[in-house]
Structure 1
Amino acid sequence: MALGPKARRRWAIFILVVLLPVYIFVAVTLVGFLDRPPVLVELAIYVVLGVLWALPFKRLFLGVGR
């Protein structure tokens, strides 16, 4: 079932306003358990997690951007 433009927009706002802050909190908490890794390792973890959150929602955000 395809989502209409209005539904896509609503889901995108929900993801950005509710789910993204929760994801950020979880990511920071998990990295906090690593006992202060070296700065470059920590940076790499945040970059990977920053890209991974968006992959499942790629099609949704492409539809909203048009």
Structure 2
Amino acid sequence: MALSYKARRRWSLIILLIGLPAYIVTAVTIVNLFDRPSILVELAIYVGLGVLWALPFKWIFKGVGKADPDAEKK
């Protein structure tokens, strides 16, 4: 079932307001479980976790920044 444009906009806002801070807390917690790695390893961990976080939501964010395709043209 495909989501409407408005539903995708709402879900993207919820994901960014709740999911992004949760990702940040999780990523920092995972890095802090180990002794402080070198800056490049730490950067790679954050980038990898960021990509893993964003991939499942790609279909929600796609096209959200464009005009509503369902809106009537004036």
* TM-score (normalizing by structure 1): 0.91
- 1:22 alignment counterpart: 22
Deviation at 1:65, TM superposition (A): 2.9
Query: 3-state DSSP class of the match of 1:56?
Result: helix
Which residues of structure 2 form unaligned runs of 5+?
A: 67-74
Q: What is the Cα-based RMSD across aligned positions, in Å?
A: 1.0
Judging by fraction of residues, say which structure has more helix: 1
* TM-score (normalizing by structure 2): 0.82
| Identity level (%) | 67
Q: Which residue identity does 1:15 align to in structure 2? A: I
Aligned length: 66
Runs of 4+ aligned residues of structure 1 deviating over 2 Å after TM superposition are none
Q: Which structure is larger by alpha-carbon Rg, 1 or 2? A: 2
Give CA-to-partner distance per residue, 1:16-65, whole Å, 9 cap, x none. Answer: 00111011101101101111011111111111111111100111101313
